[in-house]
């Protein structure tokens, strides 16, 4: 495995591979804007329904897998819950609610 | 003169402590005779005075009263406009610090240099604003220290314990969990995890909603029509919350500000615990996250230490007891120990080993030889929790032939996914023409005791390099000149 240095502007501008997953990113605006727009757009792409879908929990997953997934998501969204971008913050809050619900469903109440 | 002084600039309450000649820290009361000063500022219009503390909290007009300014310390767009003048969060905080300095120095002697505490997960801009606030208030900041670290320093000092400690600090606005190793006077921080907006005032808001609902149900009317009355009811919900830490039930009556009658509020501890369960579950996640970060199990923790006013809630204690299988201890007065620890820290800082509060890295295309997949990722150079000061290097390759400018985005955050980290700066380096792709570029990050980060990029073939201090320079950071001007202005103000 090797790592190629890539800055955001290059990845957004020239590399098709890099932008593949994030079509909304190749717009104008500052770089930081782009980063936040990427995630806002990604969140909007498919309106999530159940907490299961929001957290990507499937019936096939083992208890350990569910736990690991919830931990990863908590770390991620707890961080964006302190974002300066109100949109990201609200989205994070909704995710955290779903994460808590999933925990209670699979592992019981605290 | 008070040589070693610590200040806890809290979301809801602030306190100042100094180190007595016998080496023990002591809280210094303000001129109103209170050990802690509510972090509230009221801009009085008739006498042109800024009231800070209880008088501001209990008396003022809502649109001239500023609560919880700490929540906005990293928001360059958050300006408070009073009589046409725009105040930054740092300036409002400076008013609070000025009161502490003026009042307390009458008791403990002149205060020139201080240690100020901040939540462990305060970012660079919030830290800078805090330092600027102190400077405007006429104090030099010896060091910033993370709140749970300060609390642990005090706990270790007062209890003389040894071993691995988990500090659970739930205050008015933030939650911090920190794990540290203590052996006598020396302390090693292992990890800190925080939730920016999880604390007592969230619980007050939740109770306020319940009050609103009850009021509507019983009278058919809205509980408040303006901010002044909303504040009053919020104060009532906070009082009810505190009562529920002692009693199983509270009864309260509330009225609205438009004479729609009185409603009876009957609330049990059980109901309250249900209402805040979501928040508490988040706090359990955070504790587990801290354990994971330090690669520890609950049984590896020798002492669980409670800090912050919200840890008086019985459910908080029982929930931690369930996780750790031992009774959590509070270090004396839970809302004073941060300031007390900060005063101790002022003297002992050299014995305390701290860690990076966040991961720093850069964006890279990472090629996975197995899956043949290439993905834009956040490539971490200094992982969170690396003991500081430290310096780490990672070597990358250029991606294109004849690349003339190397651009390095500097990221802050743990996530591998580039979407979930902040790009906090960029370094560009001109390199010689006509080179094939795959040239090696070394990126080095260094991190000093004050949580400042530097980045160095070296093009290995040409030997060219560039270094920058990674700082927020843009909006929200005052120039030195502007800082001086504002401090001068502030010193002439009447603050009580
Ligand atoms: N007996 C009690 N029961 C429940 N909550 C309490 C009790 N006493 C105080 N609190 C809450 O504790 C909070 C204040 O705690 P503390 O002084 O530790 O916070 P802070 O330092 O101002 O905030 P932060 O550390 O988040 O910046 C308030 O929300 C208050 O309502
Ligand atoms: Mg506090």
What would the mean pLDDT of B438-461 be, rounded to a whole number? Answer: 88
- B255 and B269 fall within a common domain: yes
Q: Tell whether ipTM is more than 0.90.
A: no
pLDDT for residue A23 is more than 80: no
The pair of structure tokens assigned to B321 is: 């007891």
B151, part of any domain: yes
pLDDT at residue B172, rounded to an integer: 94
- B382 and B464 fall within a common domain: yes
- Residue B188's H or E segment, with its range, is strand B186-195
E strands in B31-118: 37-38, 41-43, 50-52, 65-66, 80-82, 85-87, 113-118
Choice among A27-36, B182-191, B216-225 with the minimum mean pLDDT: A27-36
Q: What domain count does chain B have?
A: 3
How are strands ordered across the β-sheet holding B329-330? B329-330, B303-307, B162-170, B175-183, B186-195, B352-353
pLDDT for residue B246 is more than 90: yes
pLDDT at residue A41, rounded to an integer: 46
pLDDT for residue A34 is more than 60: no
Q: If we measure between CA atoms, which residue out of B105, B100, B104, B70 comes closest to residue B88?
A: B70
Taking the alpha carbons at both ends of chain B, their separation in whole angstroms is: 22
B181, part of any domain: no
Ligand 2 centroid to B324 CA: how many Å? 23
pLDDT for residue B478 is more than 70: no
Distance from CA of B407 to the nearest CA of A (A): 6
pLDDT at residue A37, rounded to an integer: 40
What would the mean pLDDT of B307-327 be, rounded to a whole number? Answer: 97
pLDDT for residue A26 is more than 50: no
Half-sphere exposure of B97 (CA within 13 A, CB side): 36
B150, part of any domain: yes
pLDDT at residue B280, rounded to an integer: 98
Atom of ligand 1 nearest to the CA of B203: 29
Count of Cβ atoms closer than 10 Å to residue B55 Cβ? 15
Ligand 1 centroid to B172 CA: how many Å? 4
Q: List the CATH number of the domain containing B63.
A: 3.30.420.40
The residues, any chain, with a CB within 8 Å of residue B262's CB and separated by 6 or more, are B219, B253, B254, B255
- Please, what is the average pLDDT of chain B? 92
B451 by Cβ neighbours in 10 Å (0-12 / 13-18 / 19+) ranks as buried
Residue B342's domain comprises 5-160+334-354
What would the mean pLDDT of B249-264 be, rounded to a whole number? Answer: 95
The pair of structure tokens assigned to B166 is: 């988990």
pLDDT at residue A6, rounded to an integer: 78
- Residue B406 and residue B428: Cα distance in Å, rounded? 6
pLDDT for residue A28 is more than 80: no
Tell me the torsion sign for CA atoms A34, B89, B197, B64. Answer: negative
Binding pocket residue ranges, ligand 1, CB within 6 Å: B 10-13, 70, 147, 171-174, 199-201, 238, 241-242, 245, 308-310, 312-313, 335
- B47 and B86 fall within a common domain: yes
Q: Which residue of A has its CA nearest to B290?
A: A75
Residue ending a domain, among B275, B295, B316, is B275
* Percentage of residues in chain B having pLDDT higher than 70: 98
- B422 and B443 fall within a common domain: yes
- B88 and B218 fall within a common domain: no
Is the Cβ–Cβ distance between B147 and B119 less than 8 Å?
A: yes
- B383 and B456 fall within a common domain: yes
pLDDT for residue B285 is more than 50: yes
Is the Cβ–Cβ distance between B143 and B149 less than 8 Å?
A: no
pLDDT for residue B437 is more than 60: yes
B188, part of any domain: no
Count of Cβ atoms closer than 10 Å to residue B260 Cβ? 17
pLDDT at residue B392, rounded to an integer: 96
Q: List the CATH number of the domain containing B445.
A: 2.60.34.10
B298, part of any domain: no
- B350 and B368 fall within a common domain: no
DSSP secondary structure letters along B222-249: -S-SSHHHHHHHHHHHHHHHHHHTT-SE
pLDDT for residue B290 is more than 70: yes
B76, part of any domain: yes
pLDDT for residue B173 is more than 80: yes
- B107 and B216 fall within a common domain: no
Choice among A23-37, B39-53, B311-325 with the minimum mean pLDDT: A23-37
User: pTM for the complete prediction?
Assistant: 0.88
Ligand 2 centroid to B371 CA: how many Å? 48
Beta bridge mates, B330: B306
- B255 and B345 fall within a common domain: no
pLDDT for residue A16 is more than 50: no
B144, part of any domain: yes
Residue ending a domain, among B257, B275, B293, is B275
Residue ending a domain, among B244, B275, B306, is B275
Residue whose structure tokens are 């058919």: B220
- B338 and B374 fall within a common domain: no
pLDDT at residue B332, rounded to an integer: 82
- B350 and B364 fall within a common domain: no
pLDDT for residue A17 is more than 50: no
pLDDT at residue A2, rounded to an integer: 67
- B117 and B224 fall within a common domain: no
B168, part of any domain: no
Q: What is the DSSP letter of B62?
A: G
Q: List the CATH number of the domain containing B215.
A: 3.90.640.10
Residue whose structure tokens are 């500097």: B410
pLDDT at residue A40, rounded to an integer: 47
pLDDT for residue B2 is more than 80: yes
Ligand nearest to the CA of B334: 1
């Amino acid at each position: 495995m090797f790592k190629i240095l890539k800055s955001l502007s290059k990845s957004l501008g020239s590399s098709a591979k890099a932008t593949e997953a994030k079509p909304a990113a190749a717009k104008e605006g500052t770089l930081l804007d782009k980063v936040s727009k990427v995630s806002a757009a990604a969140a909007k792409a498919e309106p999530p329904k159940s907490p299961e879908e929001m957290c990507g929990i499937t019936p096939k997953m083992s208890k350990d897998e569910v736990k690991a997934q919830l931990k990863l998501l908590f770390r991620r969204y707890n961080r964006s819950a302190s974002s300066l971008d109100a949109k990201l913050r609200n989205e994070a809050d909704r995710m955290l609610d779903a994460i808590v619900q999933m925990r209670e469903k699979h592992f019981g109440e605290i | 003169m008070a040589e070693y002084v610590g200040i806890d600039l809290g979301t809801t309450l602030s306190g100042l402590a100094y180190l007595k000649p016998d080496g023990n820290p002591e809280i210094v009361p303000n001129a109103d005779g209170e050990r802690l000063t509510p972090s509230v500022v009221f801009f009085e219009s008739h006498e042109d005075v800024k009231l800070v503390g209880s008088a501001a909290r209990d008396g003022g007009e809502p649109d001239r009263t500023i609560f919880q300014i700490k929540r906005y310390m990293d928001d360059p767009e958050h300006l408070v406009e009073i009589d046409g003048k725009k105040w930054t969060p740092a300036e409002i905080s400076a008013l609070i610090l000025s009161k502490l300095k003026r009042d307390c120095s009458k008791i403990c002697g002149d205060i020139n240099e201080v240690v100020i505490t901040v939540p462990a997960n305060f970012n660079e801009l919030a830290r800078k604003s805090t330092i600027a606030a102190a400077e405007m208030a006429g104090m030099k900041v010896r060091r910033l220290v993370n709140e749970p670290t300060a609390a642990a320093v005090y706990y270790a000092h007062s209890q003389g314990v040894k071993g691995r400690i988990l500090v659970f600090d739930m205050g008015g606005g933030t939650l911090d969990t920190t794990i540290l190793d203590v052996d006598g006077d020396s302390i090693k921080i292992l990890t800190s995890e925080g939730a920016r907006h999880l604390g007592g005032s969230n619980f007050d808001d939740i109770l306020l909603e319940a009050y609103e609902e009850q009021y509507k149900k019983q009278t058919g009317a809205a509980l408040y029509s303006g901010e002044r009355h909303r504040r009053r009811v919020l104060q009532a919900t906070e009082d009810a919350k505190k009562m529920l830490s002692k009693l199983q039930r509270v009864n309260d009556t509330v009225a609205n500000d438009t004479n729609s009658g009185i409603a009876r509020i009957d609330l049990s501890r059980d109901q309250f615990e249900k209402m805040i369960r979501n928040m508490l579950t988040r706090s359990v996640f955070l504790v587990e996250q801290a354990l994971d970060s330090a690669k520890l199990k609950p049984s590896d923790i020798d002492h669980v230490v409670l800090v912050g006013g919200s840890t008086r809630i019985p459910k908080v204690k029982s929930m931690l007891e369930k996780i750790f299988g031992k009774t959590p201890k509070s270090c004396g007065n839970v809302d004073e120990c941060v300031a007390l620890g900060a005063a101790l820290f002022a003297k002992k800082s050299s014995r305390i080993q701290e860690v990076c509060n966040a991961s720093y890295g850069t964006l890279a295309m990472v090629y996975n030889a197995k899956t043949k997949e290439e993905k834009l990722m956040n490539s971490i150079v200094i992982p969170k929790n690396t003991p500081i000061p430290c310096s780490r290097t990672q070597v990358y390759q250029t991606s294109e032939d004849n690349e003339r400018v190397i651009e390095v985005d500097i990221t802050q955050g743990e996530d591998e996914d580039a979407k979930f980290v902040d790009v906090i700066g960029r370094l560009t380096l001109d390199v010689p023409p006509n080179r094939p792709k795959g040239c090696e570029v070394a990126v080095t990050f260094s991190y000093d005791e004050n949580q400042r980060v530097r980045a160095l990029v070296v093009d290995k073939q040409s030997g060219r390099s560039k270094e920058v201090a990674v700082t927020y320079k843009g909006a929200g950071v005052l120039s030195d000149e502007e800082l001086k001007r504002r401090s001068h202005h502030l010193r002439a103000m009447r603050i009580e």
